[in-house]
Each structure stands twice: as C-alpha cells, then as structure tokens.
Amino acid sequence: MSRGNDEHWWAPKRYGIGTGWPIAWQAWAITLAYALAVIGAAYLVLPLSAPAFVTIIVSATAAFVIVCARKTRGGWRWRWGEMD
C-alpha cells in the first residue's frame, strides 16, 4: 500500500489543514489501534470511572494527532487545492 516512501504514512488534505487518507499500512494500523483504544475504553473503563475514561481518550487522541502531524507528507499546513 506504500507508495515507495515509508517516511510518510498519510497524504495531506487537498483543502484546509490536516491529514488526508492513509497511504501506508502503518497509518491503517495506527488508526485501527486508536479506534480499538476508544471502543475498548468505552466498554471497559467508562462504566467504572468517567474521569479515567476521559484521561484515556484525551491521551490517545493527543498521541494519534501527533503521529498524524509528523507522518503526513508535506506536514500540516493550509492547502488551497490545486494551487498547492
């Protein structure tokens, strides 16, 4: 699934700022791990402790966003579509 450059895991968005579609298996794996962490926390932790659930979600989201920002081709910056 990789397009020959293992350094980048996501394509940039065409318009706006942020991450677009995954272009490497590592991005799919990280996305799946994040989704499983959120779902697992909702089922296992939320019934026991809401503050612990919020802590897990905030931590997992922060880690996911940092990885996305560092592994997006061209980094995160504002894009205007075809002009970039």
Query: What would the pLDDT profile of 52-74 be if each residue is shown by its tens digit?
Result: 999 999 999 999 999 999 999 88
Between the two ends of the chain, the Cα-to-Cα distance in Å is: 24
Which residues are CB-neighbours of 44 under 8 A, at least 6 positions away? none
pLDDT value at position 79? 84
pTM of the entire predicted model: 0.80
- Alpha helices of 1-84 — where are they, by DSSP H? 25-44, 50-70
What average pLDDT does the chain have? 88
